[in-house]
A and B are shown apart, each in its own frame.
Chain A
Amino acid sequence: MNIIYINPANLTTFIQQLIMRNKVYPFYFVIGALVLYLLFFVVPSLMGFFYAFTNWNSYSSDVNFVGLENFELIFSAGQGYLHYIANTIVFTVVTIIVKTVIALALAVLLTRGVRRLAPLYRMIIYLPAVLPMLAVSLIFRSILNPATGLLNTGLHTIGLDFLAQKWLVDPSWAMPSVIGVDTWKGVGYLMVIMIAGIEAIPSEYFEAAAIDGANSWKSFRHIMLPQLTPVLAVTTVLNLLYGLKVFDIIFVLTNGGPGHATDTVYTIIFDEFSKGRYGVATALSSLLFLAMIGLGYLVIRVMNRDIEG
């Protein structure tokens, strides 16, 4: 048996190298998972691609090939689908940035700053992540009610009336409110991942930097951030996929309203499916599938280039 001795300080780099060389486990270990994945994810997705080019609907048993008609409908200006795609992109981009920044700040604070009762704070911040989205959304729907909700009532009580808004029913506030609730729920999960990443960085790096006269910001900028790139890549991809697929929080909080102000691609897919317009629904979900694969691949490539560099 060959025994490899690894310096704990170089553990992360070593694992990355092993993964890149693809020598950790033999290929047949993944066959079981791969078959299931192909059967229940890839095959239905490919079938979805086929139906995206048909007029499949609940009113007729005939399924006819209609070419690009469904896609033309989606990309035509008067149909509103572009608005739903734009909403999805806004939600995804903003939640990625806001959640990552806040989670990183909290992770740094609870590893390098606050030491006393840090595990308790971590647990409290992580707690929303274990609550069901439905329960969180229903609670926030009540909290954000402009007339009777806890938030506006509290603001009125302490004299900050000018901050009280019609959170979920004002078109200009509805999406920021949904993003706020999603951030509250999701930030703890990302924070835990980032804490794990920060704690894996050897403390010698920070000590050496301190001896060389680096301040906190420089240590963060030149040591912590580069070392956290793989973790940030993972959280960004997770956030990206989650953002593009967002459904439940919007469905419960606003049901896409007011009007269509918070409708996203998935709420519209659900809407189209419930109307029995399966062809249009599968065209939309196929587009989203391609977008998720493309963007996910792009993010991983960009982040890996940074690692390799």
Chain B
Amino acid sequence: MKKIIYATCAFLLVALLIAGCAAPATTVPAPTSAPPTTVPPTNAPAPTQPPAPTQPPAPTQAPTKQNITLTYMASQDWIFDADQALGKKFEEKTGIHIDFQIVPSDQYFNVLKTKLNSGEAPDIFGGQSGVTDLKLQYDVEKNAVDLSAEPWAKQEDPLVTAQSTVNGKLYGLTYWDTLSGGWVINYNKAIFKKYNLSVPTTYAEFKALCQKLLGNGIQPLYEPISDGWHHVLWFPELGPRYEQVTPGLADQLNANKAKFADNPTMLTVLTQLKELYTLGFMGKNALSDAYADRDKIMASGKVAMTVMGTAFPQEVEQAYPDVKADSFGFFVMPLADNQLLNLNPAGPTKFIYSGSKHIAEVKAYFNFLTQPENMQYYIDNNPRALTLPFPGVKSKFTPELQAFMDAHKDKRGTVYQTAVNYVNPQWMDIGKDLVAMFTGTLDPSGVLKNIDQRRTDMAKTAKDPNWQ
């Protein structure tokens, strides 16, 4: 009897093992199933959205209902409700499911590069555009698919496509608002009015303003350091100022004829940044503050300023309707007395992994995203996007933002993570060094020396002729 029981158990275990090893295709839901009811109706793409007047790009192939799941890996701050709603709409249309794999931002690049290096990347991977990043971070010529012939490629803003192009081939779709101004200080107008403060034009004025706020029990700045990347913005985003003080610096750095450690303006910026932290202007818990809490914190009115994009006021209004977008104003980061607006044509970009088995399907997905009605849906339903780098879309610039942009029409420049090679690929390393600087284990000049060292390592590894 026991033998029969043992034999039955053994048979069942083997059967289970074989079933477990079976192809996963059987688990994919049937393509004709109704759209999931869990999607809130407010998130669904508006079907009545009129198409833009420009000619929409034609899909490379007519999508048919298919049992396919496309994996899309991105950093946590790159995926919004609008992305997921468009993914659902695409699934309804084609049966192709988009599986969004969202990774915490402080770990994203390590995870992505490990996957790329081990040949296990998802069908679509998110990455920051910029020519050096494309070559060094993602090695797009090996890891990504050439998208130059896609119908949307010629419609994308040339400044933006240039950042995703290597040796004349376009590798990424920058589905991101890169045109509405860079990272600036968003300030609470009511707090400024209450304490009779005006927009600072020098670092001394900015420091005095922060001290006055702190003295009145208001935290001057919200700086979410725990994410590992946000606090880095204070340094390379001031590229226009470095260039203003030392004309041609970016070219000299790229030619290996100048060093970060030798630049006094950069040293000043880092010294002043450390001072902002040390004097408590970023609050007592800046090292554990999270980017995800930005809306809540700024809507609370307990903090006066934060470095965010120009779409931030609208983002807060959407999350907290009582707090109107026009309750925030903008000014540029005034470290080293900067008064120039920082612009960056590079941004989070979608790439197709060259090892994907579903390249045609991903291309169809990209074509779907770049249909005018879908781009407009994305802009209308994503508070972080005021526009997209494609013609025919209606942007959401407020009069305040338009005035700010107009005021800096002739006072702007490109950020250094884009203008200078080998800076953006070490963004998270700079973040760690800055935290070490804040906590006193590294001084500002040490941070600059580390940047130079990593640039040298990357350039030599990449066999850059300027470093040979």
Contacts and interface: CB of A to CB of B under 8 A. Distances in A.
Interface in A254-277: 255-261, 270-271, 273-277
A270 B115 CA distance: 12
Nearest to B142: A58
Contacts of B42: none
B139 A258 contact: no
Contacts of B226: 169
B292 to A, nearest CB: 12
Nearest to A79: B453
A166 B457 CA distance: 34
B436 A273 contact: no
A147 interface: yes
Contacts of B52: none
Given A59-B136, A60-B463, A259-B432, A169 B113 contact: no
B288 A147 contact: yes
A274 B435 contact: no
B468 interface: no
B113 A274 contact: yes
Contact of A277 (B109, B139, B285, B461): B461
A145 B136 CA distance: 35
A168 interface: yes
Contacts of A274: 109-114, 117
Nearest to B446: A78
A251 interface: yes
Contacts of B285: 146-147, 166, 169
Contacts of B337: none
A171 interface: yes
Contacts of B106: 255
B228 A145 contact: no
A103 to B, nearest CB: 31
Given A145-B288, A273-B114, A274-B113, A58 B139 contact: yes
Contacts of B196: none
Nearest to A83: B441
Interface string B254-287: 0000000000000000000000000000001101
A12 interface: no
Contacts of A270: 110, 114
B217 to A, nearest CB: 17
A257 B439 CA distance: 11
A168 B109 contact: no
Contact of A171 (B114, B117, B439, B461): B439
Interface string B116-143: 0100000000000000000010010000
Interface of A: 57-60, 145-147, 166, 168-171, 251, 255-261, 270-271, 273-278
14 contacts: A166-B288, A171-B441, A255-B107, A256-B432, A258-B436, A258-B439, A259-B433, A260-B441, A261-B441, A273-B117, A274-B112, A274-B117, A275-B113, A278-B117
Interface of B: 106-107, 109-114, 117, 136, 139, 226, 228, 284-285, 287-289, 432-433, 435-442, 457, 461-463
Given A261-B439, A274-B110, 12 more contacts: A59-B136, A59-B462, A60-B461, A146-B284, A166-B285, A170-B439, A251-B107, A255-B107, A258-B287, A258-B435, A276-B117, A278-B117
Across the A-B interface, give the 4 residue pairs with the lowest CB-CB distance, nearest first.
A259-B436, A169-B287, A274-B113, A274-B110
